[in-house]
Amino acid sequence: MRAAGKKVRRISAGTVALSALALFAAAVLAVDLFIFPLRYVWVYAKMPDIPARGDGEMRVHFVDVGQGDCTVLEFPGGESMMIDGGCGSAESNGAVLSACAALGIDTLDYILLTHSDTDHAGGLSAVMDVFGAKTVFLPQFPEENAAFTLFRRRAEEAGAQIRTSRIYESIISGTQENYSTLLFLWPMYLKEPDGRSSNDTSAVIYLEYAGRRMLFTGDLSAEVEDKLLNDYVGIEGEIFRLEVPAPWGKASVAARLEELDFYKMGHHGSSGSTGEMLVSLCCPREVFISCGIGNGYGHPNLAGISALQAERPDVNFYRTDELGSYTLTVRADGSYTIERWEDV
């Protein structure tokens, strides 16, 4: 009888162990499905050391994703925006996801995909998996590919508000204190442009804070840059002067493109972007370039760099292929610094 009793106890102990294991597995699955995808937990072990944003600071982080593009904005009010997400390779995704983790981002307020090329869209599905976004801006006329299709599906599944990039879209700071503006200057198409690549439907955005002005042109070609700037010059900037809704009422926005403080060089510094008109009108002081070491495209092209230097001899260039990731910080008094992540 005692042996039988022991057998019953052994079976009961085994059942308890199996039940505990099943509960643990269920808990892990629930965390993976509803809280955090555990396949990305390594992100938090590889975070770069980036200090917290100071009061009244706007920060623009240029993430080194190799031959691709990813920029993360932190607005003075604390909102966050990712512009493009790299190519989706393991190395690129690691850089993008660990950057967001280091910045303490829980959920991105905005994701903007400038256009659907894989070197811009490839990593955004992983970003949606780990962090998600409240609002997603998609290209007006995307070229369908696997990376773009997956990102769009992830955004829809996550319940993000999906909007289409178009001229005059704006993001205005939530308060009048530390007022910042972001304005879309392109695309302005009402119908699909015939014969153009997706590069020329890139979202172009203008960012202003504390008197400092910056332009992002995506992968736009010089031909389309000229069209945008001719429209701007033709009516003395009035095309980008408007009133937009703001949390406190109406805000006056005026994109001023002459002699910019900051410029993100178009199409990774390609010879087909940053044309003569942009160089002469905008002649920026600080120029940022996202490109991969020894890339096969010859980015950045020396002709564009030389043209900017000829127009403004004191211009400075900051390249991810040379510096790795780095941050532009603009303070409420208009002062600014540009620092490599290794140096901050």
Structure confidence at residue 80 (pLDDT): 98
Pick the CATH number of 50-343 from 3.60.15.10, 3.40.190.10, 3.40.250.10, 3.40.50.970: 3.60.15.10
Tokens 């001899």 belong to which residue? Answer: 313
Question: Considering only CA atoms, which of 168, 307, 326 is closest in space to residue 251?
Answer: 168
Domain boundaries, the chain: 50-343
Global confidence as pTM: 0.88
Q: In 3-state terms, what secondary structure has residue 110?
A: strand
Q: Average pLDDT in the 136-158 region?
A: 95
Beta bridge partners of 338: 328
Structure confidence at residue 170 (pLDDT): 95
User: Residue 326 is inside which H or E element, if any?
Assistant: strand 326-330
Write the pLDDT tens digit of every residue in 95-122: 999 999 999 999 999 999 999 999 999 9
Question: Considering only CA atoms, which of 203, 336, 168, 326 is closest in space to residue 260?
Answer: 336
Please count the other Cβ atoms lying within 10 Å of the Cβ belonging to residue 135.
16
Q: In 3-state terms, what secondary structure has residue 180?
A: strand
Please count the other Cβ atoms lying within 10 Å of the Cβ belonging to residue 153.
12
Structure confidence at residue 43 (pLDDT): 83
Lookup: tokens for 81: 């925006």
Q: Average pLDDT in the 2-10 region?
A: 52
